[in-house]
Amino acid sequence: MSANKESWGSRVGLILAMAGNAVGLGNFLRFPVQAVQNGGGAFIIPYLICFLVMGIPLLWIEWSMGRFGGKHGHHSTPFIVDTMGKNRLWKYVGVFGIWTNIAVAAYYCYIESWTLSYVFHSVIGTFSGLDQEGVANFFGAYVSLGTSTLGVPYEPIVFYVLCLLLNTWILSQGLASGVERVAKIGMPMLILFGLFLAFRGVTLTAGENGAINDSSVGLNFLWTPNFDRLWSPTVWLAAAGQIFFTLSVGMGTVHCYASYVRGNDDIALNAMSAGWMNEFVEVVLGAAILIPISIGYLGVDRVSEMVQSGGLGLAFQTLPYLFYQWGDLLGALSGVMWFGLLFFAGITSSLAMGTPWIGFLQDEFNWGRKSAAWSFGLFVFLLGMPTVLFFKYGVFDEYDYWAGTVSLVVFALFETILFSWVFGIRKGWREITSGSDIKVPGFYKFIIKFITPLLLLWVFLGSLFTPKGGDWGAAMIGPWVLDNSSIINKIKNVDLKEKLAAATDPAAIQLLENQIFFVNASRILLLAVWIALALLVYTAYKKRVREGRLN
């Protein structure tokens, strides 16, 4: 008999927890950068289309799969998917729903710990008086485990451990008393902080506290549409990829959360509510802070260069300096709000990542909530330490690419095929609409069965065979040369090997050789963890056979 008898305390708590699972660091750091890089205002067209034909269907699929599995007493993906397909191999596809969360949490909690550290440094005034180079150097020294500004040895590790302890303690308190309570506090605080910073971002005036541009310049830079980019498959792939990141689909967390709802509870409206709340935070708040404030003070050309390296540089190496242009008091307050916002966005997501592992141990091995939660914390700590210690060698990026990108697409593709074609769209549609508080449009039955899996297959193949420079037109008529960002060339380390071949400086050669070693080692480690989890699922299955608990 499973030790797992938990449930959600309220519908509001469930929706906020689901929204918190979706709302994460990517809403504020990744989305505005993706928009700038992929057509500005034109990017919102493929983005919203992908949300409607892939995001919402996947939310409904995962909510209904989770509730269906919960009826059978399952609260983790291996045996949730096992209930929907007769072939016993499906449960090993479900291993992705545990593995992805542990692997993502391993590096995600590290970023989360940065936000916790920066909140503290904002409070004590570390960034006051520093120029932008000083703030950037602070970040560089921090991730390099350099000299601590607090005199604390290995400060990043201290904050990483603190962050993991906080996550683990909250998870150990249970679903309603821990996760749900944090969501009820964290999501309103996130939105409150976001509204304040977004107001500052959209009301910025040239000449105010040293600003060189009005907010309109940053907003135009972000949203001026480049409709020529609409016809690029690369832009559509980027839009589809952002939907994965922003909704946290293809991970197994939605399944797990939904498995705790009652059998007749609505899932259609709940999924829509959580999904649209995430879209509001991302498109409205996320787009009104990072880019407008940065361009207001630094100008378009400088921010354009920084955007190419992603949102982390702007968020951690630039904004702390810019906030202090508003004065010491408002600068410190804005820093607390910005990094507090990111922290709440991060922790509501990382808490969700712990629930599939906890549910699995409770269901299959009768572990108690507390011991299962602390085992998750230990697991994540051991797997995550390489991302902390060997950050400069690309271990962090490897975890993010394989667990936080490729795995999501692979699992989402398999689960959509399972739901629509193996379980069957008729039974699947009944699951989606059962107990629904809204009328689900009938045309979504066609979208879920055909459009969503085809789009997912296209995303996967497009990522597997990405042509050089993203030039799909040239690839169609000429030799198909793979880009270094393609999955195939990533596996072969083509980019690193090309840099190594061109390097002449002994220090650079040594760094690249070390990077290749650590990149390969991190992949082996991630693969070993997946195999270990698959063996654990096999052990659980054999235990079920002995106990006569097969579905």
Residue pLDDT, tens place only, 58-82: 999 999 999 999 999 999 999 999 9
Which of 27-41, 271-285, 494-508 is least confident? Answer: 27-41
Q: Residue 144 — pLDDT band, cuts 50, 70, 90?
A: confident
Lowest pLDDT segment from 43-57, 269-283, 466-480: 466-480
pLDDT at position 241 is 85
User: Mean per-residue pLDDT for 462-478?
Assistant: 89
Burial of 434 (0-12, 13-18, 19+ CB in 10 A): middle
Cα 282 to Cα 138, 276, 498: the distances in Å are: 28, 10, 37
Supply the pLDDT for residue 499: 95
* Percent of the chain residues topping a pLDDT of 70: 98
Cα 343 to Cα 341: distance, rounded to the nearest angstrom = 5
Residue 428 is encoded by which pair of tokens? 């699947």
| pLDDT for 148 | 67
On the question of pLDDT at 3 being above 70, the answer is no
Partner residues linked to 482 by β-bridges: 467
Binned at pLDDT 50, 70 and 90, residue 1 comes out as very low
Query: What is the rounded average pLDDT of the residues 269-288?
Result: 93
User: pLDDT of 92-117, one tens digit each?
Assistant: 999 999 999 999 999 999 999 999 99
Start-to-end C-alpha separation, the chain: 14
In the chain, the largest separation of any two C-alpha atoms, in whole Å, equals: 74
8 A C-beta contact, residue 289 and residue 338: yes
Model pLDDT, residue 257: 94
Confidence band for 4, pLDDT divided at 50, 70 and 90: low
Give the pLDDT of residue 471: 86
The residue ranges of every structural domain in the chain are 11-127+139-547
User: 15-24, 186-195, 311-320, 456-465: lowest mean pLDDT where?
Assistant: 311-320
CATH 1.20.1740 fits 11-127+139-547, yes or no: yes
% the chain with pLDDT above 90: 75
Higher pLDDT, 504 or 9: 504
pLDDT at 279: 93
